[in-house]
Amino acid sequence: MGNSWFQFKQFRVEQAHAPLKVGTDACILGAWSHHDAPLSILDIGTGTGLLALMLAQRYQAPIDALEPDVTAAMQAAENFSNSSWNAIIQLHRLSLQEFYPGHLYDLIVCNPPFYADHLKSENKSRNMALHQEALSFEALAANSSRLLSEAGKLFVLLPPRQAQEFELQAVEQGLHVQQRLLVSDRPQLPVHRTVFSFAKTSPQKEQTTHLTIRDSNGDYSQRFRQLMQQYYLIF
C-alpha cells in the first residue's frame, strides 16, 4: 500500500505527504472497531484520517480526529474534505494530552506509536508517528480513560510485546479488556499484531479470537474478506 493514494469503496485516502501510509493492520483496526450505537467518536492520532473515514462510513455520529503533526494534519484535512462525511468529522491540531472537549466518547480508536528504544530517522513527522515520546502508553491509557464514557469502548492496535505493556497501563487506569483480536499474516506465522477492545466495566468473560490475513495458499482468508468486504475494492 505504498502508492500516493489508496482507493476504498466509498472514499479515497491521499497519502503522498503522510508520514505513515495506509497499512493492512490499520485497516483491520478500523474495520474491527465497533459499538452498538455510538453518539460520539474519537480518533487519536488520525494521520491520513483513515480510521475516522472508516468509522464515518459505518456510523452517523460526530467524529473528533486528533493530529498534532502539521504535515499529517494537512493530509487528513484534504482527505476529510474530499469525503462524503466532511460535515461530521472535526480535525483538531492538538495532542491527546491537550484535548479537553467537555464531553465523553462512546468509541475511541488509536493506532499508537510504539517504538521506545529504536533509532530515529531525520523525518520528524515520521518519528512522531512511530515513537512513544509524543504519546507514551501511560498517557494514552490515562487520557483514554478520562475521555471514555461509561458504556464506551476503546480500540487499540499494537505488536504483541507492546500490547502486554499497554494492557498493564490500561488496567491501572480502570480499563478492562473485553475482547482481543490476534492477527497473523498466515496460519503458520506468529501473531504480529493485537487489537484490544477496552471498557470501564469488567466483562463476564474476556473473548479472544484469531484473524489470519491469508490462508496457507497465499489467498486472502475468508474471515479477512468478510471483515474488509465493505471497504476493499477487491472484495
Structural domain contains residue 95: yes
Give a yes or no: residue 199 inside a domain: no
Can you tell me the mean pLDDT for 32-56? 98
Q: What is the pLDDT of residue 129?
A: 43
Q: Give the span between the Cα atoms of 26 and 1, in whole angstroms.
A: 11
Residue 189, domain member (yes or no): no
Pairing state of beta strands 193-199 and 148-158? Answer: antiparallel
Q: What is the CATH number of the domain that holds 116?
A: 3.40.50.150
Mean pLDDT (whole number) for 93-120: 87
Task: Output the pTM of the full model.
Answer: 0.92
120 pLDDT above the threshold of 80: no
* Rounded Cα–Cα distance for residues 161 and 103 (Å): 33
SS3 202: coil
Could you tell me the maximum CA-CA distance found in the chain, to the nearest angstrom? 51
**Is residue 81 included in any domain, yes or no?**
yes
pLDDT of residue 127: 45
Q: Which SS3 state, helix, strand or coil, does residue 165 take? A: helix
- Check pLDDT > 90 for residue 159: yes
pLDDT band at 41 (very low <50, low <70, confident <90, very high): very high
pLDDT of 117 reads 54
Let me know if residue 68 belongs to a domain. yes
Sign of CA dihedral 194, 150, 93, 15: positive
What is the pLDDT at residue 122? 57
Asked whether the predicted pLDDT for residue 77 surpasses 70, the reply is yes
The reply to whether 69 falls in a domain is yes
Residue 64 has pLDDT above 90, yes or no: yes
Contacts of 36 (CB under 8 A, 6+ apart): none
- 17 within domain boundaries: yes
Q: Is residue 86 part of a domain?
A: yes
Give the pLDDT score at 123: 44
The count of domains in the chain is 1
| Average pLDDT value for the chain | 93
Give me the domain span that covers residue 148.
5-166
